[in-house]
Chain A
Amino acid sequence: DAGVIQSPRHEVTEMGQEVTLRCKPISGHNSLFWYRQTMMRGLELLIYFNNNVPIDDSGMPEDRFSAKMPNASFSTLKIQPSEPRDSAVYFCASSLSVNEQFFGPGTRLTVL
């Protein structure tokens, strides 16, 4: 069974550029989560979806961040325009209802 798939694994971009992170959750899971991890702030929940519907986006930093889940097998997190302080590891995770969350390998984003 493939786990949660994220792409790209690494992204280096310049300030002001648009960044799109992609996630394919585990088949059959109905919840999808986007997290950001930094040394300073730890592991933060940005947004999560239930049955493709955004439920809680209170962790989204600002209007530069947006997330979509057009279907049960795909989600994107977009940052536009990107800033150096957005540099972090972004994890996508999926779960079946309130059970354990399965994390993807993460995308390491560096904004110069």
Chain B
Amino acid sequence: GQQVMQIPQYQHVQEGEDFTTYCNSSTTLSNIQWYKQRPGGHPVFLIQLVKSGEVKKQKRLTFQFGEAKKNSSLHITATQTTDVGTYFCAGRDYGGATNKLIFGTGTLLAVQP
């Protein structure tokens, strides 16, 4: 079945450093979504990418969707303590006539002040 892997599993940075998490799918995706889960909280939607090669920015966050629509990345510039949490990508299978999302394994970000 479809699998979505993320690397790294865990990253510890000093406040102000940059951070990147990578997401790779075993199958081509129709679109990809990113979610953030704070410790003890629930996943919260960040963004959706649909087009091949698409790049979107939200303040210090930059999201990319690969040309082959099988991978994606999230880059945070100058991390802050409020960025702490687990970041998940979630992909929808290309051609799938369903609303089903497959969540990635997640990357836990720790930010030291």
Contact = CB atoms under 8 A, between A and B. Distances in A.
Nearest to A30: B99
A103 B100 contact: no
Given A42-B106, A43-B88, A43-B106, A103 B44 contact: yes
A101 B98 contact: no
Interface residues of A, number: 23
A31 B33 CA distance: 16
B94 interface: no
- Most chain B beta-carbon contacts within 10 A, residue among A43, A44, A91: A43
Contacts of B100: 45, 48, 55-56
A104 B48 CA distance: 19
Interface string B61-104: 00000000000000000000000000010101000001111110
A86 B33 CA distance: 28
B45 A101 contact: yes
Nearest to B33: A100
Given A42-B105, A43-B88, A91 B99 contact: no
Given A45-B103, A103-B44, 10 more contacts: A43-B88, A43-B103, A44-B103, A48-B98, A55-B99, A56-B98, A93-B43, A101-B45, A102-B45, A103-B42
